[in-house]
Chains A and B, each alone.
Chain A
Amino acid sequence: MPEYTVLEHSHPRVDAWEKVTGQATYAADLHLPGMLACKLLTSPRSHARIVSIDTSRAEKLPGVRAVITGKDFPNTHFGSGGLKDRYIMARDEVYYIGEPVAAVAADDEMTAQEALELIRVEYQDLPAVVSPLDALKSGATVVHSDLPKFEGYGFAAGGPNVCTLLDADRGDVEQAFHEADHIFEDTFRSQGINQGFLEPMACAARVEPNGRLTVWASTQGPYQVRAQLAGVLGMTISNVKVIPMELGGGFGAKLRLAFEAFPALLAIKSGHPVKLVNTREEAFTMNGPRLPTHIHLKTAVKDGRITAREAHSVFDVGAYLGAGPNSGVGHALGAYHIPNFKLRSYGVYTNKLYVGSYRASGVADMTFAVESHMDIIAHKLGVDPLDFRTINAVKEGDQAVGGARTPRNGLQETIQAVKERLGLPKKLTSDNPNEARGVGVALCEWRSGSGPSTASISVNEDGTVSLLTGSVDISGSDTSLAQIAAEALGVKMEQVIVAERDTDLAPFTGPSGGSRIIYSQGKAVQMAAEDTRKKLIALAAERLKLSPEALSCAGGRVYVQDNPPQGFTLGQLARQSLTSKGGPIIGTAALSSMPYTPVFCTHAAEVVVDKGTGQVRVTRYLQAQDVGVAINPMSVEGQLEGGVVQGIGRALTEEIQWDPNTGKVRNPSLATYLMPLAVDMPQVENILIRVPSPDGPFGARAVAEPPGFGPPAAIANAIYDAVGVRIKDLPLSPERVLAALQGKDTEIKMDVEALRRAEAGRG
């Protein structure tokens, strides 16, 4: 590893002081003069026609300043998942319980709440469908009868409610199955999951004297909010300024336009600033979560190697394609090289709250299925599960699903590290006859996120530098970007100022999500720093009358290589630049995409299963991940640990419960939706593997998404190792484990044949 002065150091976060003293300002913390409170009226019906809405009584309530319904917005569909399938507020129909139908702005929340109760909405019920597998059947209740008319819709196959179909094919799957020694088939189901951000969605809006709209948002994607908000309001984006506030957790839930349009239109109508703050219940009933996924995998094995895979996955998207299409399809191969494949992934409408993103949508579901399936195959073949994985693992040069060649990576190193640390293979035993212990592993794969990225760095007269990017800080990304700038420019961390930003100030950049900030935004920062360095050196060369090649930039100075005392500090150069030919020094960079770079990790869980209750406890959790280079090891570990704990929640306790007839969320609170607490969690162990990526800044790879993928499969595999039962349905609850221990049929059923027939019929 090269000698770094700033990278690979655990610098405290640049925003740590604000956050530990309570000074960091989140959207709900805004108090603007004359500000009104906004409350939303939502649909109590699963699917219904809106016959009439009467807001007159609400409007007369003292303290109420404005009331809006769907008809107050321009009659334009919008969409955030590639299909324009929805209105920002219901117009003629409602499609799920919880869909916004009206909004009120009043002097305070209590008055706004009271006004909601005075709004009369007459509904005419329509048939609804809640189960995605029911929605898939021919003759099923149709959620959106105008689906073929939606902009972005381009096919018809799989069923009446299929809104997306992703496919990937390679080789001759039929032939490979024909020639196989063994064929394995399994069906898995994963549950609906809430992102669990601690800060409920909040936003505020104000109309400025010049007619422009200012929006304060809790968002990962200010430019996405700006574009979508302008669209639904019928404004130009130049008339909208989005100020991203401190983000209290998003994990994908806050990538797109959420509720900003409601306070915005109410602000336009009332002339006052308006703030909306979701309750925790609304965070469960109005904010797009992940919905259940059914996955069927069929795998051919010949001579101990996987030769073909067929995968059918059905992603419930709820009432609208709020995110996606799901990114799960290609991940049906897992971290393995499989020469022949046929992968199909369906997005299916149901009358439930629409789908959102969550830490690599769909991939966690797919990893649970793939890594459970790999374990099942290994056990049936009588080979060690980790050895079976090692043999089939993807290698440098292998072609990835999308066609790109797999570059150099540390997958094998992660496997080896886990094997050595845990002493695998091993058999765990328990002294307690009522308990059994087991160990399970899982490999995870993801890619480093790409997308438009920009950065600029200006040099100040005192030798500090100001870094401006449009990215919202998540998980300490501002700190890591500052470290990249400092390293590339040869200055100290203390000399880097990370500028506050909004959509007027900073150039366009993609949203903070999908593990793209360090890899792509970080690259832009590195390039901007190199541009800055070049300009500093050019100015110094001009002043010293030397060639730029004779100079170096490090330690906060530009100096003559052969005579280091001769040179200028950055502050001197910045001051000189004010009167120089080129003017003040500013380095910039922009890029639109980055080459494919995979991220791999190996996870292992040790569990104790109570044979009497089915209760599962994770006693040890280990992960090894190839991070390329750890820009900030403390921050990297924080990502890895947080991801794993989210994954343990997904594995064991978290599940959105829907009423099977109405699609109503039955557990919209943190007392009934069970996220991991400190008392439940083991001390997570991390091993950082550093195989530099060819293209990332200083060789960095993405970090954040994959840690959440491994736990469901690693724990399911550990349960199998402990008690010999295979749970294919998440969460791995005591009820499910006990039912399996009692020999009940816990297999998941899904009619894959019908999907194959539908596809054949289309051709």
Chain B
Amino acid sequence: MKKPLQITVNGEIRQFFAEPYCSLLDALRDELLLTGTKKGCDEGDCGACTVLLNGQAVTSCLVLAHSAHDSQVTTVEGLADHQKLHPVQQAFVDHGGLQCGFCTPGLIMSAVGLLQENPNPTEEEVRFAIGGNLCRCTGYNKVVEAILAAAQAMQNKLKA
């Protein structure tokens, strides 16, 4: 039986009903129609469903929707400020950090999570932070370049 819950998603309070077994991923995709977050495996192996839960990058397929009750969730749809991309999104565009795009939302959310905790990561730290995000197209080179460039851009903006 579906039960009510409330989650702040991308800054908006969303009240809806979900089954007790419903994952946060399915709630986002099927109840709130936020389909930017992808389901690549539904068992925590691919990272395509990564979102920020109270600021932490998590695989949303492994979080029950009801356990996120009263929490703050940020998805890939919540990063851009109207027509202005988040620096991580912009860096993925500029550095070719995406191809088929299916793993991209998860990679971007992992990167945003990383840069919140560690604004100036080394290449090794970037590779470790996206170590739970599978990408089959890019070979990771340009993803890593994009995240390092985003870190740089965000640092420069802070200094400016």
Contacts and interface: CB of A to CB of B under 8 A. Distances in A.
Q: Do A and B bind each other?
A: yes
A678 B130 contact: yes
Interface in A476-491: 476
Contact of B139 (A10, A642, A671): A642
B17 to A, nearest CB: 13
Contacts of A12: 93-94, 96
Nearest to A648: B139
Contacts of A561: none
Interface string B2-17: 0000000000000000
Nearest to B145: A683
A13 B75 CA distance: 22
Given A246-B100, A248-B102, A645-B138, 16 more contacts: A13-B96, A16-B93, A22-B35, A24-B101, A29-B29, A31-B33, A197-B136, A280-B40, A280-B43, A280-B46, A634-B95, A670-B43, A675-B136, A677-B131, A678-B130, A678-B143
Given A198-B136, A475-B99, A679-B128, A21 B141 contact: no
B23 interface: no
A199 interface: yes
Contacts of B34: 22
B45 interface: yes
Interface stretch (B62-70, B77-85, B151-159): B77-85
B119 interface: no
Interface residues of A, number: 56
A20 B90 CA distance: 8
A696 interface: no
A166 interface: no
Interface in B98-118: 98-105, 108
Given A20-B108, A669-B41, A199 B35 contact: no
A20 B76 CA distance: 8
20 contacts: A10-B96, A13-B96, A15-B101, A16-B93, A16-B98, A19-B98, A28-B39, A31-B35, A198-B46, A200-B40, A248-B102, A251-B136, A279-B42, A475-B99, A637-B141, A638-B139, A646-B136, A678-B130, A681-B139, A683-B144
Contacts of B92: 16, 20
Contacts of A684: 139, 141
A678 B131 contact: yes
A29 B35 contact: yes
Name which of B94, B98, B100 has the most chain A CB atoms within 10 A of its CB.
Answer: B100
A67 interface: no
A22 B105 contact: yes
A17 interface: yes
A236 interface: no
Contacts of B60: none
Given A198-B100, A635-B96, A21 B43 contact: no
A644 B139 contact: yes
A51 to B, nearest CB: 34
Interface string B23-59: 0000001100111111111110110100000000000
A23 interface: yes
A262 B20 CA distance: 30
A731 interface: no
Contacts of B130: 678
A279 B61 CA distance: 13
B119 to A, nearest CB: 19
B101 A248 contact: yes
A475 B45 CA distance: 23
Contacts of B33: 31
A22 B36 contact: yes
The 8 closest A-B pairs by CB, nearest first: A22-B36, A248-B102, A19-B101, A641-B139, A645-B139, A670-B45, A29-B35, A22-B76
- Specify which of A18, A678, A681 lies most central, judged by the most chain B CB atoms within 10 Å of its CB: A678
B99 A642 contact: yes
A514 interface: no
Query: Which of B79, B138, B143 has the most C-beta atoms of chain A within 10 angstroms of its own C-beta?
Result: B138
Interface in A620-643: 634-635, 637-638, 641-643
A277 B35 CA distance: 14
A249 interface: yes
B125 to A, nearest CB: 11
- Residue from the set B85, B101, B102, B130 with the largest chain A CB neighbour count within 10 Å: B101
A198 B40 contact: yes
